[in-house]
């Protein structure tokens, strides 16, 4: 038994090694470039769900798509699109972002994410006193600011109840005499990190030690802490004021409110009447939110005032228009797992980025080997006040004076490398008052940049996951550019070609049968009888609405216009015919259609289908171009590798 288990383990290990070896095999050669089984498999598995949705395309069909894709990449390179500055800039930005993911997975990030999650459960209200002092202040000015802040702290410790009076009198924050040092509630990531950290470690009523930030010295008092409310899910019906007057919008929302009171389904009314089309198609359902997310306090207050699932608010006015809100879910506080990805992204931004970057730089140095050498005295001897006017010129060090600055891995940097960078950066960085501060800041920037550059340059060779992702993005940028140049922009500018395509394919762009008239709806049979009586007496739909909806009553809702056969606004069993239709009954709703004119099916005008024609014409151009690329870049498929891959995929 042990022997058979050992054989099985050996065979499994052998099969795994064989599969890894097969991944390095060439599956297709194109334009003298070999593409491996592993590269194709990565794309195939990544898009496997899409493949299934497309009715199980065969492996051969998907390989054809892969080859078409690579041909377009080759065409892009031949056209020099990979040398354009816009492409190089976009790629460099993505490379910078992606490379971070491969060094940020360390204890520092994990600890800060966990800390951020704990802090996100509460919002704090603080007051503070600020004595201004930026990072570039002279040592003398820094000492003066520090001593002043220290004296004020002792003052508030002696009379803590007078904190806001002291802030109003002495704080150097703009408009402190009005705010009296009082700040709004905030939660994690909403204040500079040092201030946030001190505040979250205070007890209510406690006064902090001096807090140093880029603004100066703070004295912080915690006034209150409260839990952050769980995100709620609501649906809403909105009547906007973008196109209607405020009074008209209010009248319409009141009509809808009346229909809700009569039992008409909220979802149906949202789909039919809401001006928020993004949520209307889903019955008005919105994304979960908590107070402060929407920047619409009246809406948020009304939503959080609802206490039961299904409860509907009275009409609420916001700067967007009028709303009716229904509570769908009270929500619950997210778990750490729910928030981990978002918080990780946030940790990599803002104040925390500096802490993480320092830790990451240190990690790279430890992994790749780093040695720094003294530099300050040599550069302080050649820097002068002209750097403050951004006119300092670096004179390269000669011979032995061009000493080692630092080494990272097998890469060496010298004084002259840093000196040239220093001259360039003096025109880009913020103004400084102290030469030493400027020198230290730019050196730190230079060292971090070069350490990260060395890491990124070697990452593609040592990390296959990174290599696959960065190559996919590299090709994706080129595909977009080459399609824009050869297909999309070409089609947009070819007005004659678009017209000719439309004329040749008119039969694809047809209207269904249509009816011009009005859809009349009521919630009771009695109201419908009244509406029918007026219509039969020759009253127009507008007259019917005015006569029946008097004194705040809402007996009838009327929609006028052109309706295509199959429209959601028409009853499903309605057959288009002129005149007044029979009454169509559905739960809590009675509907009739008054058809003034029937329009038969026919060809849509070019202007009505210009967007669809453009899309179809682009597809035609791409199909022709694909044939041209196939002739220009013939593909040689390794049938043996393809057979092995097919067997391996079937065995999974």
pLDDT digits (tens, 9 = 90+) for 604-629: 999 989 999 999 999 999 999 999 99
> Is there a single domain that holds both residue 264 and residue 175?
no
**Are residues 157 and 210 both part of a single domain?**
yes
Q: Residue 187 corresponds to which tokens in the numbers above?
A: 């939660």
Residue 16 lies in a domain: no
> Which of 462, 478, 501 delimits the end of a domain?
462
DSSP state of 207: B
pLDDT digits (tens, 9 = 90+) for 87-109: 999 998 888 878 867 765 556 78
* 50 in a structural domain: no
Candidate from 280-294, 312-326, 472-486, 606-620 with smallest mean pLDDT: 280-294
Cα 525 to its chain centre, rounded Å, is: 49
DSSP assigned state of 582 = P
* 194: nearest Cα among 220, 166, 169: 220
Question: Does the residue 495 lie in any domain?
Answer: no
Euclidean distance between CA atoms 86 and 82, whole angstroms: 9
C-beta separation of 190 from 126 below 8 A:
no
CA distance 387 to 426: 7
- Of 177, 203, 227, which marks where a domain is finished? 227
- CATH number of the domain at 156, please: 3.10.50.40
Find the domain containing 400 and state its range.
Answer: 369-462
Q: Tell me whether residue 41 is in a domain.
A: no
Contact 293, 229 (CB under 8 A): no
Q: Of 227, 256, 287, which residue constitutes the final position of a domain?
A: 227
Residue 636 inside a domain? The answer is: no
Whether 269 and 205 share a structural domain: no
Tell me the β-bridge partners of 125.
224
Pair (132, 222) in one structural domain: yes
CATH number at residue 550: 3.10.50
Q: Is residue 214 part of a domain?
A: yes
Cα separation, 109 vs 343, in Å, equals 10
pLDDT tens figures, 319-359: 999 999 999 999 888 899 999 999 988 987 778 877 877 77
Question: Per-residue DSSP letters for 423-460?
Answer: HHHTTTSPP-S-HHHHHHHHHHHHHHHHHHHHHHHHHH
Q: Name the region of 369 (left: φ>0; alpha: ψ -120 to 50; beta: rest).
A: left
Instruction: Mark whether 315 and 374 lie in a shared domain.
Output: no
| Domain match, 514 and 574 both | yes
Task: Tell me the pLDDT tens digit for each residue of 440-450.
Answer: 989 999 998 89
3-state class of 273 per DSSP? Answer: helix
Residue 518 lies in a domain: yes
Sorted by sequence, the CB contacts under 8 Å of residue 138 that are 6+ apart come out as 433, 434
Kindly state whether residues 517 and 427 are assigned to the same domain: no
pLDDT the model gives residue 110: 85
Confidence of residue 35 (pLDDT cuts 50, 70, 90): very high
Tokens of 651: 């065995």
pLDDT band for position 58 (cuts 50, 70, 90)? confident
* pTM of the predicted model over 0.95: no
Q: What pLDDT sits at residue 95?
A: 85
End-to-end CA distance of the chain: 26
Q: What is the DSSP string of 269-319?
A: HHHHH-S-HHHHTTTTB---B-TTSSS-HHHHHHHHH--STT-BPPPEEET
**Tens-place pLDDT, residues 360-395:** 788 888 888 999 999 999 999 999 999 988 999 999
In a domain, 352, yes or no: no
Number of domains in the chain: 4
Q: How far is residue 92's CA from residue 246's CA, in Å, rounded to a whole number?
A: 49
For residue 323, is it left (φ>0), alpha (ψ between -120 and 50) or beta? Answer: beta
- How far apart (Å, rounded) are the C-alpha atoms in residues 486 and 120? 49
What whole-number percentage of the chain has pLDDT above 70? 93
Q: Are residues 524 and 586 in the same domain?
A: yes
| pLDDT above 90 for 569 | no
Average pLDDT, the chain: 89
Q: Are residues 200 and 248 in the same domain?
A: no
Do 170 and 146 belong to one domain? yes
């Amino acid at each position: 038994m042990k022997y058979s288990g050992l054989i099985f383990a050996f065979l499994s290990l052998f099969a795994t090694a064989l599969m890894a070896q097969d991944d390095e095999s060439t599956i297709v050669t194109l334009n003298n470039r070999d593409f491996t089984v592993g590269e194709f498999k990565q794309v195939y598995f990544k898009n496997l769900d899409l493949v299934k949705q497309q009715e199980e395309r065969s492996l051969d069909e998907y390989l054809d798509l892969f080859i078409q894709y690579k041909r377009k990449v080759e065409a892009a390179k031949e056209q020099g699109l990979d040398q354009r500055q816009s492409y190089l800039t976009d790629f460099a930005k993505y490379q910078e972002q992606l490379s971070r993911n491969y060094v940020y997975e360390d204890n520092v990030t994990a600890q800060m994410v966990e800390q951020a999650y704990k802090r996100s459960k509460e919002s704090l209200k603080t007051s503070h006193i600020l004595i201004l002092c930026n990072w570039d202040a002279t040592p003398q000015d820094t000492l003066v600011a520090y001593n002043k802040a220290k004296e004020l702290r002792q003052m508030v410790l002696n009379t803590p109840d007078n904190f806001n009076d002291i802030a109003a009198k002495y704080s150097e924050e703009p408009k402190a005499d009005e705010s009296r040092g009082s700040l709004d509630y905030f939660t994690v990531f909403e204040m500079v990190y040092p201030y946030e950290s001190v505040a979250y470690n205070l007890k209510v009523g406690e006064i902090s030690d001096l807090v140093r930030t880029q603004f100066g010295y703070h004295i912080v008092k915690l006034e209150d802490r409260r839990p952050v409310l769980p995100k709620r899910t609501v649906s809403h019906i909105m009547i906007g004021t973008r196109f209607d007057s405020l009074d008209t919008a209010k009248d319409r929302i009141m009509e809808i409110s009346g229909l809700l009171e009569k039992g008409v389904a909220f979802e149906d009314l949202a789909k039919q009447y809401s001006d928020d089309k993004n949520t209307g198609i889903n019955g008005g359902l919105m994304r979960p939110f908590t107070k402060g997310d929407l920047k619409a306090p009246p809406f948020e207050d009304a939503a959080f005032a609802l206490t039961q699932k299904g409860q509907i608010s009275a009409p609420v006015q916001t700067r967007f228009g009028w709303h009716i809100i229904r509570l769908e879910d009270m929500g619950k506080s997210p778990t750490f797992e729910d928030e981990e990805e978002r918080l990780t992204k946030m940790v990599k931004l803002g104040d925390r980025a500096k802490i993480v970057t320092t830790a990451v730089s240190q990690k790279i140095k430890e992994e790749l080997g780093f040695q720094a050498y003294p530099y300050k005295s040599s550069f302080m001897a050649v820097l002068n006040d002209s750097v403050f006017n951004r006119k300092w010129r670096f004179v390269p060090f000669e011979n032995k004076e061009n000493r080692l600055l630092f080494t990272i891995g097998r890469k060496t940097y010298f004084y002259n490398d840093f000196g040239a960078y220093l001259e360039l950066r003096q025109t880009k960085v913020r103004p400084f008052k102290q030469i030493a501060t400027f020198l230290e800041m730019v050196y730190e920037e230079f060292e971090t940049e070069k350490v990260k550059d060395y890491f990124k340059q070697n990452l593609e060779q040592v990390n296959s996951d990174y290599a696959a992702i960065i190559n996919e993005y590299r090709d994706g940028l080129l595909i977009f550019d080459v399609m824009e140049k050869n297909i999309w922009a070409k089609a947009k500018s070819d007005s004659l070609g678009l017209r000719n395509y439309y004329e040749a394919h008119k039969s694809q762009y047809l209207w269904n049968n249509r009816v011009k008239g009005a859809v009349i709806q009521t919630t009771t049979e009695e109201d419908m009888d009244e509406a029918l009586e007026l219509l039969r007496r020759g009253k127009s739909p507008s007259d019917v609405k005015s006569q029946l909806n008097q004194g705040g009553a809402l007996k009838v809702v009327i929609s006028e216009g052109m309706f295509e056969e199959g429209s959601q606004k028409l009853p499903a069993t309605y057959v288009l015919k002129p005149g007044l239709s029979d009454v169509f009954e559905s739960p809590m709703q009675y509907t009739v259609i008054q058809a003034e004119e029937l329009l038969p099916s026919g060809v849509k005008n070019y202007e009505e289908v210009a967007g669809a024609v453009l899309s179809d014409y682009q597809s035609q151009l791409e199909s022709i171009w694909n044939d041209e690329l196939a002739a220009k870049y013939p593909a040689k498929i390794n049938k043996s590798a393809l057979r092995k891959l097919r067997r391996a995929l079937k065995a999974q």
